[in-house]
Amino acid sequence: MKKTLLLGFLLAWVALPGGVAPDAVAALNVVVTTSDLGVLVRAVGGADVTVTTLARAGEDPHFVDARPSFLRQLRRADLLVEGGAELESGWLPPLVNNARNAKIRPGASGHFAAATAAGIALCDKPQTLDRSHGDIHAAGNPHFLLDPENGVRVARALAGRLAQLDTANAEAYRRRAEGLCETVARRFPEWRRRLAPLRGRSVVTYHHSFDYFLTAFEIKLEDTIEPKPGVEPSASHIVSLMARMKRGGVRLVIAEPNRPSRVCERVAAETGAVLLRLPLMPGGVEGTEDYIAFIEHWVSALATATPLHQTGAVR
């Protein structure tokens, strides 16, 4: 019986077009919470991993609607990769509890919280923890992957964890991570050069989504349309913000495509600013399918944002 099965397998194999072997089965099944982590795991894991992303690219990562497929995907995972820093604290913990998969529980080797694992220095850590105001950045700002240097840190830490879980492919994980790091190191000076006209100038964003990108390229954040992360803007906050924008000549507003249009458009229109809609996560917009393309998309959009190039128009 065994011989018959073996013979059947061999016949099926040689009968494949061109006599090639069937696609190798990936060694690790990785589930990631958001697509920025997904592109990094794909870059480091290559064909040795399969990647499933839970949140849709355009979804607010703080408030992801859990779908029935999530539990099934988490149950089968060898590794769960989350941003950490409380980004997913509103929706992920009950799913991990209910997935009945000991491999991906916090503290297990199959659980990777990027902020901690990569030693990311979070900005805006609150002095005192006060959730009564609805602040959803209680551990500090968790949107750190738009800083390419943080992407590098996470890629290296991911390579270490994948190597630990799959020792046979350890060298391939490290090689791919170093390849990504070299590309970032090569592109970073060029990105900085293209964004040099914006250095020291101020912009307004809807949420504190882009602070790490702005800091990496020395662009100032005047303020956010939200008075605090996760808190809807009041009329008085908007009036005060627009007055400051006019005084300071702030001519650019940046918001993710899913932020409320009316308030973003009003702030831009009443201050003579341009509203740029840029994605927080890769994959939702064409041409942002990998990490380098995603950063390039941002640099390209900002480098051609007209008001920022009008001499004297922006401080």
Distance separating alpha carbons of residues 61 and 48, to the nearest angstrom: 27
Q: If you search the block for the tokens 């590309």, which residue do you land on?
A: 183
What would the DSSP string read from start to end of 221-246? Answer: EEEESSSSTT-PPPHHHHHHHHHHHH
**Given the rule CB under 5 A, which of 68-76, 228-236, 259-267, 276-284 is the region that contacts Zn ion?**
228-236
Which residues, 110 to 169, sit near Zn ion by CB under 5 A? none
Smallest gap, in angstroms, from Cβ of residue 136 to Zn ion?
Answer: 6
Query: Which among 271, 268, 264, 215 is positioned nearest to 248, based on CA atoms?
Result: 271
Smallest gap, in angstroms, from Cβ of residue 230 to Zn ion?
Answer: 7
Distance separating alpha carbons of residues 131 and 225, to the nearest angstrom: 19
Chain position whose Cβ is nearest to Zn ion: 229
SS3 assignment, position 204: strand
Instruction: Please identify, using beta-carbon distances, which residue of 148 and 229 lies nearer to Zn ion.
Output: 229
Count of Cβ atoms closer than 10 Å to residue 259 Cβ: 19
Smallest gap, in angstroms, from Cβ of residue 22 to Zn ion?
Answer: 43
169, 176 contact by CB (below 8 A)? no
**Given the rule CB under 5 A, which of 121-129, 226-234, 277-285, 287-295 is the region that contacts Zn ion?**
226-234
Smallest gap, in angstroms, from Cβ of residue 123 to Zn ion?
Answer: 12
| Burial (Cβ within 10 Å: 0-12, 13-18, ≥19) of residue 135 | middle
Smallest gap, in angstroms, from Cβ of residue 229 to Zn ion?
Answer: 5
Give 198's contacts (C-beta < 8 A, 6+ positions apart): 217, 219, 302, 303, 308
Smallest gap, in angstroms, from Cβ of residue 142 to Zn ion?
Answer: 6
**Given the rule CB under 5 A, which of 43-51, 116-124, 222-230, 245-253 is the region that contacts Zn ion?**
222-230
**Given the rule CB under 5 A, which of 46-54, 121-129, 211-219, 227-235 is the region that contacts Zn ion?**
227-235
Instruction: Please identify, using beta-carbon distances, which residue of 139 and 293 lies nearer to Zn ion.
Output: 139
Instruction: Please identify, using beta-carbon distances, which residue of 200 and 257 lies nearer to Zn ion.
Output: 257
Contacts with Zn ion, residue ranges (CB under 5 A) = 229
